Amino acid sequence: MSRRPWLAQIDYGLIGLVLLLSAAGLAVLWSASHGPEGDVAGHAARQLRWMGVGVVAMIAALALDYRHLQTYAVPIYVGLLLLLGLVLAMGKTSMGAQRWLIVGPLRFQPSEFMKIAMAIMAAYLLSKEDSRPPYGLRNLWVPTLATLVPTLLILAQPDLGTAVLVVGVAGAVILFQGVRRRILVGIGVLLLALAPVGWSVLHDYQRQRILTFLDPERDPLGAGYHIIQSKIAVGSGQLFGKGFLQGTQVRLQFLPERHTDFIFSVLAEEWGFLGAAAVLSLYGLLVLWGLDIAAKARDSFGRLLAVGVTSILFYHVVVNVGMVTGMLPVVGVPLPLFSYGGSSVMTTYVVVGILLSVRARRFSRGL
């Protein structure tokens, strides 16, 4: 018998799906960067290099038995907290936000990897819980505290979008395990009561984003410009799109941040409703694939971990598509494997590697 029976259980279908999304993302990024002043070679080539590094990270995550993550959940979590602290102390500031650390030639965003650490930590804490779900306050105060600390550190950068996603990842794991109904009602009432306080502590630009979401036309040449141009691009694609490299919003440079936050608008304009729907279907398949892996996991930690990391992909897609179509406020959340950015690419590939590890070891025993 093979010394590594998990090798026979590698999910090549999931790998193929991720590579297909990666290829589509590179094509759209090439088009988004193509224009009178576009940096075609720079953005696409750097993204391709990050994808190559991401594939190596995915293979490493697959080779690592996911149960080791349970053993080292606390050190991983504390290590990311320390990196978030370093960001606030000596991180690079760009566009008014202090979110990046620079190590030699590398520039990375620790808050991106905190989402994975949060999924690991939440799965670790709940898998150790002796009581049977649904849980009450006594069972949830430690996971709540573990979620609150990184959330506050990320809000201080400030990065509202990532902070919300960190809370969402922990919430997905907790809800999947089970929470008493009165706890959910109490949280809803508390959030409504704290809404005025939350509004008062938001930065001015964050309040502007929410007001712009409610009424983009209030400042069409200022705060509302991004979303107005994005909706024009999405709508002008109609059913079949204008064709690859033929998007006028991109060519004429009306669409801002087209290679990062608003890259879905480029996809919708050039590939149309059918192309955008096809890509969203691939994302939907990826999320369902992750949930299927969770359902078939052999232990509680693996099941909760798969749910947590899958929720990262789900939230990113929903929030990004929602904000570029005007259904959600603009909060700067990238579209996985499409938006330009090394930290986002690495996070996505590591998430897939963890899912592959859970899937490959569902019939194995021991570490």
Q: Which comes out higher in pLDDT, residue 267 or 246?
A: 267
| Owning domain of residue 102 | 5-360
Position 119 in a domain: yes
Q: What percent of the chain has pLDDT over 90?
A: 54
pLDDT digits (tens, 9 = 90+) for 339-360: 998 889 999 999 999 999 999 9
DSSP designation for 135: B
The pLDDT of residue 222 = 72
Whether the pLDDT of residue 237 is over 60: the answer is: yes
Tell me the backbone φ, ψ of residue 226, rounded to 5 degrees. -55, -50
Burial of 306 from C-beta contacts in 10 A (0-12 / 13-18 / 19+): buried
Position 365 in a domain: no
pLDDT digits (tens, 9 = 90+) for 68-79: 999 999 999 999
Q: What percent of the chain has pLDDT over 70?
A: 94
Whether the pLDDT of residue 274 is over 60: the answer is: yes
DSSP designation for 109: -
Question: Alpha-carbon distance 114 to 110, whole Å?
Answer: 6
Q: Which comes out higher in pLDDT, residue 218 or 9?
A: 9
The Cα angle at residue 303 between residues 300 and 308, in degrees rounded to 5: 120
How many structural domains does the chain have?
1
How many other C-beta atoms are found inside a 10 Å radius of the C-beta of residue 154?
26
When mean pLDDT is compared across 22-31, 156-165, 279-288, the lowest value belongs to 156-165
Question: Alpha-carbon distance 310 to 350, whole Å?
Answer: 11
Question: Alpha-carbon distance 239 to 134, whole Å?
Answer: 45
The pLDDT of residue 39 = 52
Whether the pLDDT of residue 65 is over 50: the answer is: yes
Position 65 in a domain: yes
Instruction: List Cβ neighbours of 273 (8 Å cut-off, separation of 6 or more).
Output: 237, 238, 239, 240, 241
Position 366 in a domain: no
Position 367 in a domain: no
pLDDT digits (tens, 9 = 90+) for 81-119: 999 999 988 877 766 677 888 877 778 889 999 999 999
Cis peptide before 158 (omega within 30 of 0): yes
Q: Where are the beta strands (DSSP E) in the chain?
A: 92-94, 97-103, 106-108
Question: Alpha-carbon distance 225 to 240, whole Å?
Answer: 25
DSSP designation for 132: P
Q: Which of 345, 328, 347 is nearest to 337 (CA)?
A: 345
Q: Which of 124, 110, 31 is nearest to 71 (CA)?
A: 124
How many other C-beta atoms are found inside a 10 Å radius of the C-beta of residue 149?
12
Q: Which comes out higher in pLDDT, residue 361 or 150?
A: 150
pTM (2 d.p.): 0.92
Spatial contact of 331 and 164, defined as CB atoms under 8 Å apart: yes
Beta-ladder partners of 69: none
When pLDDT is cut at 50, 70 and 90, the band that residue 133 belongs to is confident
**DSSP string for residues in 186-254:** HHHHHHHHHHHHHHHHS-HHHHHHHHHHH-GGGSTTTTTHHHHHHHHHHHHTTTT-S-TT--HHHHTT-
